Amino acid sequence: MSEHGEPIDVMGSAYMFYLASGHSPGAVNQVKKEMTLGHRHWHDFHELTVVLDGCGTYEYQGKIYSINPGDTFITPPGEIHHYSNQKNLSLMNFVWYPEQLPISMDKLNNIPGFRAFFKLEPQSRSLFKFAHCMVLSPEQIYVMQTFYHRIEEELLKKNDRLQIYIGLLFVELLITVCRFYQESQKNAKQLNNELQKMNDVLDFLHANIANPLTRAQAARVFGSSESNFSRIFTRIMQESYSDYLVNLRLQHAKNMLMNTNKTLSEISAECGFCDSNYLCFRFRKKFGLSPHQFRMKNNPYFG
């Protein structure tokens, strides 16, 4: 979408039609050296960019960063961005809708490196001045180009298996990117930095969502005092620890309401709420519907 909200053909890709029409959960696009990238824009899908050659600048959330060959980064939905100062800039993009992939976001979140690369890095990009942008080796770029051509080949076939097979290719792609990111962090000896430690905290919270999860426990995982942890958490995550934890529990409850037939009491217990009444109160406050109303609208088993 443009900054005014009108749909745009992102960088002129013919394959974007399949994404926009709902015939595919994802698409690919390549920008070659002679192309000039468009004006500031935003879109409602996720975009993964790999810089192949040349250099330029990438504007994101009002900040400008230099980009060079191998730089690989994510642009989440809704974020205005722009490329400029192109000097033989060549890049490839992978774009997709997570909700249309054959594996749920909950399962993808459990992949080591997923939260760090796809969520924490863009969320804290201005704080760390793009220092955690992943830089791929020539061998890793070749792997990414192979994914690009496999997805492109399927898009050209226009067959009935398009949706599921391209979805599986994107899942494989995302897992591969997570592994590359983990390797890049180890190679750069950044395993103990704030972003990596925060990722460890988020892994801990997701794995123990049914438990009380006090701030003191999270601070111990982070390796800091409670007061220092709270300050760093709010700075990186842009919300307090308590707000994040409630929203995390509500998201888990939302997914269970859509995808299971468990009772409200069971869902409350598995999501870490003290009882179903408190879940109902927080759920209605967050989503404007009671859990029952939400389930009736979104779960085919109850609709």
Q: What is the mean pLDDT of the chain?
A: 86
The pLDDT assigned to 188 comes to 60
Alpha carbon of residue 276 to chain centroid: 30
Residue 18 pLDDT grade (very low, low, confident, very high; cuts 50, 70, 90): low
Phi and psi at residue 142, in whole multiples of 5°?
A: -60, -40
Question: ∠ CA(189), CA(197), CA(110), 5° rounding?
Answer: 105
The predicted model gives 30-57 an average pLDDT of 85
Structure tokens at 60: 């994101």
Indicate if the pLDDT at residue 6 is higher than 60.
no
Alpha carbon of residue 178 to chain centroid: 11
Give per-residue pLDDT as tens, 182-236.
Answer: 888 776 654 457 888 888 899 899 989 999 999 999 999 999 999 999 999 998 8
Residue 288 pLDDT grade (very low, low, confident, very high; cuts 50, 70, 90): very high
Residue 54 pLDDT grade (very low, low, confident, very high; cuts 50, 70, 90): very high
The pLDDT assigned to 167 comes to 92
Indicate if the pLDDT at residue 138 is higher than 90.
yes
Alpha carbons 283 and 171: distance in angstroms, whole number = 30
What is the C-alpha radius of gyration for the chain, rounded to an integer number of angstroms?
A: 20
* Residues contacting residue 133 through CB under 8 Å, at least 6 positions apart: 65, 67, 71, 72, 73, 121
Alpha carbons 157 and 163: distance in angstroms, whole number = 12
Name beta bridge partners: 91.
31, 51
Alpha carbons 147 and 169: distance in angstroms, whole number = 8
Alpha carbon of residue 79 to chain centroid: 12
